[in-house]
Structure 1
Amino acid sequence: MTTKTDPTSFEFTRARVDAATCQAGKSQALYWDTKQPGLGLRVTAGGKRSFIFEGRIGRQTIRMTIGPASMPIRVPKDRKGNPTGPGADGEALRLLALVKAGTDPRAEKAATIAREAGERSAAAAQKARELVTVGEAWREYLEERRPKWAERTYRDHVNLSAAGGEQRQRGKGLTVAGPIAPLLALRLSDLNADVLADWLTREAADRPTNAAHAFRLVRGFIRWAGEHPQHRALIAADAYRSKAVTEAVPSSQAREGDCLQREQVALWFKAVRELPNPVHAAYLQTAILTGARREELAGLRWEDVDFRWCALTIADKVEGQRVIPLTPYVSRLLAALPRRNEWVFSSPAATDGRLQEPRFAHERALQAAGLPHLTIHGLRRSFGTLCEWVEMPAGVVAQIQGHKPSATAEKHYRRRPLDLLRMWHQKAEAWILEQAGLPVPSASEEPARLRAV
């Protein structure tokens, strides 16, 4: 350190600090305060001034920046001598005490920087907690998981979280919001057990089946968020396990009466066959005559229909795909449909070119026939029930409908060929058509143009 007679050592005052310069040809000049040991002033060739501290730890000289030279030189004090603000000499005094105690101020500074970084990180997390919504995380969840889902699974997530307000087919009113939609505006940090229980209670009052399905989707989302690096600190990952939540989940039960009775078959077929849109009519009749799931039929492509060998390849949500018989009457229905695109049940008005919502046409047919409410899934249930009239084996019904085997023998030892399924399936179709008062076609009566397709 320089001596007191050195012109670079003087008592720091505002005037002398502001007047200090760097000599020409040098990159910097150092000046030292005679009042506070270790306090220095650095002036660069560019005119930048900053207070510094210099001290020794053992044989090592260390030098640190305290702050800009515009900061107060001396610690301001009140009338009682108590500090009222920061000052360069006060910081130099603190650093000098650390050096005398054998502590490297640089390590202390690094610790301070790390602590401040942690505090900033905590503040950022708190801000994210206040700003990130369930909807933002939900969209991220769908985008990340879509490649690993079946298309039906993805569509369920989209449909059940839709905000509503989109026009129905032919402008017949507005759709209601999906059961998950009310949760999307919430902050992610607010998605707790109490919120879930209240939400389930409200939704279950009007649509229990959809509410139960929506809960399963939300439960998967919460699990994902609880493991996601950006969201795990913002969400109660075990919220869905609360007793209040589990008790609010509606039990999954079949709708009572959601099945077509034998004496209703004729009225149903007559009303459906009179629908103005042939695609709607064919879809609904195919649904009750095959027992296929709603989206399995809606997603049927022409390449899945084998008119020559009388077979339908169904995109099964359980097994991936299954092959079922193409019975004579269904074969005629499909062959008569227009081939606008790749979809069997096409729709020029739909974005992706295929039938999206057959429910509205079905409701019109039920109203015209004077029949009670029947869901699209009820047509699948009706097929299984009506097949009992022809004493079709339960295993055959299950294989046609794509149900999981319910017994060890069915699961491991039954592999029924398509011809065996066809024998029973055609028998069931013929019986249903007889109840509907419709002529029963046979494979031998099929026009040559259909067999040659």
Structure 2
Amino acid sequence: MTDPTHFEFTRTRVDAATCPEGREQAFFWDTRQPGLGLRVASGGRRTFIFEAKLGRQTIRMTIGPASMPIRVPKDRKGNPTGPGADGEALRLMAFIKAGTDPRAEKAATIARDTADREAAAVVRARDSVTVGEAWAVYLEARRSKWSPRSYLNHTRMAAPGGEQRQRGAGKTVAAPLAALLPLRLSELNADVLAAWLDREAAERPTAASSAFRLVRGFIRWAGEHPEYRALIAPDAYRSKAVSEAVPPSKAREGDCLQREQLPLWFKAVRELANPVHAAYLQTAILTGARREELAAMRWENVDFRWCSIAIADKVEGARVIPLTPYVARLLAALPRRNEWVFSSPTAADGRLKEPRTGHERALAAAGLPHLSIHGLRRSFGTLCEWVEMPAGVVAQIQGHKPSATAEKHYRRRSLDLLRMWHTRAEAWMLEQAGIEQPSVSGEPGALRVVHSR
């Protein structure tokens, strides 16, 4: 009796095969090609399969949909011209006869194909991903880890134009990193970095050195992320050519107020139309605090009763410095619009963002040379030498790390000792500037600022 599940596969018979009622699937076998089968599901779906014995194990694999050619099509010379179900069954049977599991071969083929596709994707990415695109992702990923000032610095260093002012020329030029942004990420190698540093260092060495540190951090970040790791040389910044091209860091020459410049500077700053700018700049030179430390100061950090200011120190975490008489008068006169001491009604977060604009106007009005906001901090440390303030006192007020073992482990001066020296330095600077000084009545616990007549 002929088995109805075994017959020579033809298109008519394959299409007519059905699954008996009450069963989930039925199997039919080709009498012409060993191992070639047809699986028909209860829903009518038909699939060509391969099934054979490997030792005592039954191997079953899907070949493809039943709509594919049953036999391998051939040309007039007998050469295959396309795929066919019996041809795939013949190929798989060869593995069985060789004692090899064809499923393992299929998995290996899939792995190779996947690796090839990934390699091709990497090659395509090398030709498409630019430094600028990766830089934008880097800034967004790291934004929550940085201070607002640090994020702004990263943004400005990569600005295409208008953010880096060429001093003395009255014009703006592209920021140092702008030249690297159009490059493909794969092109950011040691030779490119060295050539870029040579060009930048010739015009603006300090900015080039700062920009390189930002690029170095970016390259490290990219080397830790799979989507960029294969596209960039993670050690590009470590080559000898690059290290030799980095301009040496040094203090900016001339970025400091001289004693004889104090009258002009104070007069121009005090005449600024914006009282917040005026108070900020004067507080900066009279406390030696860092730019962002002052900008982020809240009213809760200022103690008018005990004459102290709590500053969020980027090195130590926090430090408390004296609130000197003149600075106390400046701060007390400021409007209390919100939580910030140096508030700004136009800023998104309500506090002063860019004191440089007001400072530049004051310098221009006074006819003084360029002086950065950080130069005010430098000026405080320098001018304090006129009153012979001990270096350790200056360092503690400004938040510098101790420079010696004794300073680090054995010297933590009390606030009243700092106040004695700090008030003396403030009085001397105001005297040089020709400013009427406020007198102090009483001890810090009951301090009140009295305007001298």
Partner residue, 1:193: 190
Over 3 Å counting, the alpha-carbon distance change for 1:324 and 1:47 in structure 2 is same
Aligned counterparts, 1:225-240, within 5 A? 225-240=222-237
The answer to whether the Cα contact below 8 Å between 1:284 and 1:362 also exists between their aligned partners in 2 is yes
Partner residue, 2:75: 78
Q: Distance in 2 between matches of 1:205 and 1:275?
A: 36
Amino acid at match of 1:67: G
Helix, strand or coil at the partner of 2:61 = strand
Q: Distance in 1 between matches of 2:261 and 2:59?
A: 96
Q: Distance in 1 between matches of 2:274 and 2:22?
A: 92
Matching of residue 377 in structure 1 with residue 391 in structure 2: no
Aligned length: 443
Helix, strand or coil at the partner of 2:29 = strand
Helix, strand or coil at the partner of 1:62 = strand
Matching of residue 246 in structure 1 with residue 234 in structure 2: no
Q: Distance in 2 between matches of 1:55 and 1:267?
A: 98
Partner residue, 2:269: 272
Q: Which consecutive residues of structure 1, in runs of 5 or more, have no partner in the other structure? A: 167-172
Deviation, structure 1 residue 424: 1.6
The answer to whether the Cα contact below 8 Å between 1:313 and 1:323 also exists between their aligned partners in 2 is yes
Q: Distance in 2 between matches of 1:351 and 1:56?
A: 74
Deviation, structure 1 residue 353: 1.0
Q: Distance in 2 between matches of 1:65 and 1:139?
A: 46
Partner residue, 1:170: none
Deviation, structure 1 residue 163: 6.4
Q: Name the % identity.
A: 79
Matching of residue 91 in structure 1 with residue 111 in structure 2: no
The answer to whether the Cα contact below 8 Å between 1:164 and 1:174 also exists between their aligned partners in 2 is no
Partner residue, 2:166: none
Matching of residue 433 in structure 1 with residue 430 in structure 2: yes
* Deviation per residue, 1:147-199 (Å, 9 max, x gap): 55555545544554566779xxxxxx998765445555655444333443344
Helix, strand or coil at the partner of 1:41 = strand
* Deviation per residue, 1:23-79 (Å, 9 max, x gap): 444443433323222222233333322222222222333332211222222223334
Aligned counterparts, 1:154-169, within 5 A? 154-161=151-158
Partner residue, 1:255: 252
Q: Distance in 2 between matches of 1:353 and 1:204?
A: 37
1:339 aligned residue (336, 340, 347):
336
Amino acid at match of 1:322: R
| Farther-moved stretch of structure 1 (125-134 vs 209-218) | 125-134
Partner residue, 2:65: 68
Q: Distance in 1 between matches of 2:27 and 2:334?
A: 92
Deviation, structure 1 residue 436: 0.9
Q: Which consecutive residues of structure 2, in runs of 5 or more, have no partner in the other structure? A: 164-169
Partner residue, 1:169: none
Partner residue, 1:309: 306
Over 3 Å counting, the alpha-carbon distance change for 1:150 and 1:277 in structure 2 is closer
Q: Distance in 2 between matches of 1:121 and 1:50?
A: 30
* Deviation per residue, 1:274-297 (Å, 9 max, x gap): 111111111111111111111111
Q: Which TM-score applies when normalising by structure 1?
A: 0.87
Partner residue, 2:285: 288
Partner residue, 2:29: 32
The answer to whether the Cα contact below 8 Å between 2:46 and 2:66 also exists between their aligned partners in 1 is yes
Partner residue, 2:207: 210
Over 3 Å counting, the alpha-carbon distance change for 1:30 and 1:312 in structure 2 is closer
Q: Distance in 1 between matches of 2:139 and 2:429?
A: 42
Over 3 Å counting, the alpha-carbon distance change for 1:346 and 1:182 in structure 2 is farther
The answer to whether the Cα contact below 8 Å between 1:307 and 1:451 also exists between their aligned partners in 2 is no
| Farther-moved stretch of structure 1 (435-444 vs 55-64) | 55-64
Matching of residue 59 in structure 1 with residue 56 in structure 2: yes
Q: Which TM-score applies when normalising by structure 2?
A: 0.87
Q: Distance in 1 between matches of 2:317 and 2:358?
A: 29
Q: Distance in 1 between matches of 2:155 and 2:349?
A: 15
